[in-house]
Homo-oligomer: A and B are copies of this chain.
Amino acid sequence: MFSYGYVMARTAGSHSDITGPRVAQAALQLFARHGYAAVSMRQIAAEVGVQAGALYNYTPDKQSLLFDLMRGHMDELLAARAALLQPDGPLARLEDFTRFHIRFHLERPDAVFVSYMELRNLTPANFAVIEGLRRRYEDDLEAILRAGVGAGLFDVTDTKIATLAVIAMLTGVTTWYRAEGRLSVAQVETIYWDMVRKAVAA
């Protein structure tokens, strides 16, 4: 957590780069399972195999633990999206967005769950940050829809509402999908893309 730019000049007795990620992962899993408010620092510590006081080598407080998880998730989402080169044309772009959204979210169910359910447990300042990142992601989709409407390919009454409707529909996949189930991620992508395509079609 406290890296010093260059290669960190590690000194004696240090393995915080092992424990640090374990703290974050334990917190994520427990927050997703039981909710932020219902999980105690002692439970997180027990999961890591450490006493509660030791957690404070890795986070200033419990709120930062939640916020860092959510900001990390949103950063990953935006970075992964930005890393892809977008296909040409609104229709191909929309399919790309649909498949990306489903794939990304199905790969990290815990982070998705926490990021959608624990917004109200953020301080107002932290909430504003997460809300801004989420807004940037939504704007990405809305731009696609607007371009499609402009080109006469799509027909939606209100691009902002359509954006939120599509994202709600796609994110809903995380509530029922199980990796052991009968459908592969690719099949699920195709099923949802079929519905999205028709829903906004002209």
Contacts and interface: CB of A to CB of B under 8 A. Distances in A.
Interface of A: 33-38, 117, 120-121, 156-158, 161-162, 164-169, 171-173, 175-176, 188, 190-192, 194-196, 198-201
A123 to B, nearest CB: 13
Contacts of A162: 195
Copy number in this complex?
2
Contacts of A161: 176, 188, 191
A122 B168 CA distance: 24
Nearest to A166: B169
A37 B117 CA distance: 13
Contacts of A35: 35-37, 120-121
16 contacts: A33-B120, A34-B37, A34-B120, A35-B36, A35-B37, A35-B121, A38-B121, A156-B195, A161-B176, A165-B169, A165-B195, A168-B169, A168-B172, A195-B200, A198-B199, A199-B199
